[in-house]
Structures are given as C-alpha cells and as structure tokens.
Chains A and B, each alone.
Chain A
Amino acid sequence: MKKALLMTFITFTLGLSLQAKEVSLRVAYYKNLFGHIHKNASRYSQSLSTIGCGHPIKILGVKGREIVSGDFNKVKVGPYKGYIDKKYLVRKKPQCFQDRYPRFFDNIGLSLTDMYYWGKLYDQYIYGRSQVQ
C-alpha cells in the first residue's frame, strides 16, 4: 500500500515538473530603438536588462503554447528570463534606425543611462491611432 502511494506521488510530481517545463518556441526580434526585459509582466516592473533594436529574443512556452501574461510574452534573452510587451516584438529582423544610420547614431554618443531611459520612454508612452471608421 505504502509503495503504491509513493509511486503515485512520484508519477504525479514528475508529471507536474514535465508539464511546467518552459522551452524556447521561436525567435522574435525587438523593434524599438531600445527596450527593457521586465522582471514581471508590467511596463512599470523592474528592468532586468536593456536591449537594442534587432536583438534576438527567445519566446518561451509550455507544451507548444507561448506563455502570455496580459500584453506581455515571457521571453529569454541571454541569461535573463522576463517579460516584453508583445507589440514591440516582430518575427523578422527589423530595419533598425541604428542600422540604417550607423555613423549618425555613433556620433550622437548616447550613454548607458540614455539607452536605459530611451527604453523606458517606450514603456511609458500611451500609444494611439485615429482610424477611418
């Protein structure tokens, strides 16, 4: 009886651990000039790292389904696992501003603080668009 209970427990926990395993489903690219990987699925959440346009990002998922929390995708960038707003991710490598105007961009001389704030700016914006009805 004890053995049977133990076996059921092991199978159950093993099943759970297998079910919760996060894997990279696809690669997406960051499309804004700069951005942040957030610790939680909120634009106000702590930044784990600053990334630049065109940065490859692994979209994480479980059992073939992307992990989505609100407007945010769970992602992995380098050693960091965090969240990025879906609207900033594209499937194909974008034509980034810094790639189209590399020398101009170099000569602006942005500091790390500037890059951090620039990423934050995109998090803080309220976006809108008027459309023909």
Chain B
Amino acid sequence: MKTFFLTVLLITFSVAAAQEAPVAKTKESEDVGPMVAPIEFDKIQDVIKKDRLGSEVVKKKAVIRKKIKKRQRKKVGRYNIPDESEFWSFFSEYWLVKNATILKWDFKKPDYGLEESFKKFLESVGIFEVNYKIILVNTPDVTHFGLPSNTNEFIFILSVPFIRTLDLSKLEISLLLFEDYLRVKNGFFKDYVSVAGVDSFVGGNFYKKDFDFSLMEKMANKYDEIIYDKGFNFQQQFKVTNRMSAILKSNAKWWNAYYLMIGKIDNLVKTNILYQKYLKIYPSPELQLSWLRPKKKKVL
C-alpha cells in the first residue's frame, strides 16, 4: 500500500514538472529576446527621402509656424488703435457724447431741410463725394463748428438758437457750414488738438504696454479749449475769409449773401450779450467785412 502511494505521488510530481518545463523555457527565451539585426540609420534616411517623408515634415512644420504666427498676429491685433481714417470720427463723436449735457443736442427739432440744401450747395461749388453729419444743438454757447472726422467725412455742430436769432436762410446756413468745412479742410482744428504723442498713438498698438488714456483726456481738453474758449486766430480767419470770397465770387448771389450774413453776425455780437463770446472763437466779423470789402484804389 505504501509503495502504491509513493508511486502515485512520484508520477504526479513528474507530470507536474513536465507541464512546468515549457513555461520556464518561454520565459528564458523572452529574457534573451529575438535576434534583431542592428539599425542602419543611413539606410532609413534613404527610405525617408524616397518616401518624401522629410519634405512632408518640413511642410507640416511650416504650416504650424504659420498658424502660430497668425494666432499671435490676431492676439496683437486686438490691441490696435484705430488709424487716421477712423480715429477722428470716433473721437469727435466721443467728445460729443461726453458733452451731451452741455451742448444739449438731444432734443426734438424742426426739419430745416439742411440735408438737401447743403448737398446742393456743395455740389454747386464743385465738392463731390463728401459725407457730412450735422448735429443741431440747443445752446447759444457753441454757434457753429466743424469737427475732424474720417476721410471725406465732416461733422458739423450748428446752434438752433443762433440760426433763429439771426433768422438765417438755407443758403446762409450752407455758407456758414461751408466756412467750417474750409477750416477743417485746412487742418486748423486737428493741428490744435493734436497733443504731443498723438501721431504715434493713432494707428499704433499697445500690446504688452499700458494704454495711455491720459492722452485721450488731453485731447478732449483741447477740444473743450478750442470749441468753448479759444477758437481760431486772425491769420486762420483771414485765410478762410479770403478763400470763401474767392470761391463765392463766381456767383454774385452767394457772395452778397455771405457778405450780408457776416454783417448780421457782426451786428449780433455787438448787441446781444449771449453771443459776445463769438468774437473769441471767430475773430472778428468786423474784420471779415473789411477783408471782404473791395479795396478802393487811390486816384493820384
């Protein structure tokens, strides 16, 4: 019985050992690893060249570089400041908005038909493709003014109390606006409000820089100064008056209307206390009349 048990045990062990053996063999073979020939990089490069994989990599890298540049450009572009063609209109409107309560332009006004009359006048004097916006104000403090705007665009301020007091006709209003047009065209306003640093600010970019808001404040103060207080100088007025005279001389009706209108203004500023400041802004109607008057030749 004992020998039988021993024999069975021996057989079981030997069978088990026989089953284990192949696994051990496999592990052994894994440890050694497959027999691989050493990599020849020169040959691989040739294959890559043949498959044009190298040029593909260059292309892909260029595309990625382009994308990164484009993204960066877009990111920097978000910090752009409008250039000359857009800045002045924006800033003039910004000033009008900030001064809405002083200028009192938000009111119901009658339709004076200025859109059509001024259009016709401009076309008659040969000025085409010009856009204009007129804002009527309900204050005698600012009588009329031309503000700088986008290329071929003009913003005009016109006082309703001023028009009413002088009882100006459509032609006279057009002449007044045309005077302002010439002032803007000559750059008198822009020159005055362009504080130091504006040239580099307009159309610039402030990426990774602080936004210079103080510059805009300074410009807004300059707007206040020229519109409410200082106005234009004698030389500028002389230049504008002479130009007006030269343009209007071809039409006696226009020239006479201009002369008479200046006369009306002269009379108003001398008699109405509300408009005495006018002399500071547009010096002076009396001088304008003398500039316009034909010179008498002395007979010897």
Residues of A within 8 A of B (CB): 33, 44, 97, 100-104, 107-109, 114, 117-118, 120-121, 124-133
Contacts and interface: CB of A to CB of B under 8 A. Distances in A.
Contacts of A33: 93
A109 B118 CA distance: 36
B108 interface: yes
21 contacts: A33-B93, A44-B108, A100-B82, A101-B80, A103-B206, A104-B81, A108-B94, A117-B106, A121-B135, A124-B135, A126-B134, A127-B132, A127-B133, A128-B114, A128-B133, A129-B119, A129-B129, A130-B123, A130-B128, A130-B130, A132-B129
A84 B177 CA distance: 29
B98 A114 contact: yes
A104 B90 CA distance: 12
B136 A124 contact: yes
B63 interface: no
Contacts of B123: 130-131, 133
A118 B93 CA distance: 8
Looking at chain B's contact residues, the main secondary structure is mixed
Interface of B: 78-82, 86, 90, 93-94, 96-98, 100, 105-106, 108, 114-116, 118-119, 122-123, 127-136, 206, 211, 213, 216
Contact of A130 (B94, B127, B211): B127
A124 B119 contact: no
Contacts of B213: 107-109
Contact of B93 (A103, A121, A132): A121
A133 B124 CA distance: 10
Nearest to A43: B108
A132 B128 contact: yes
B163 to A, nearest CB: 13
Given A102-B78, A120-B106, A126 B136 contact: yes
B284 to A, nearest CB: 29
The 10 closest A-B pairs by CB, nearest first: A130-B122, A107-B211, A126-B134, A128-B115, A125-B133, A117-B100, A103-B79, A117-B97, A132-B128, A44-B108
B41 to A, nearest CB: 51
Contact of A126 (B79, B82, B115, B130): B115
B86 A129 contact: no
B129 A131 contact: yes
B144 to A, nearest CB: 14
A97 B105 contact: no
Contacts of B79: 103-104
A102 B80 CA distance: 8
Contacts of B134: 125-126, 128
Contacts of A128: 114-116, 118-119, 131-134
Contacts of A126: 114-115, 133-136
Nearest to A131: B128
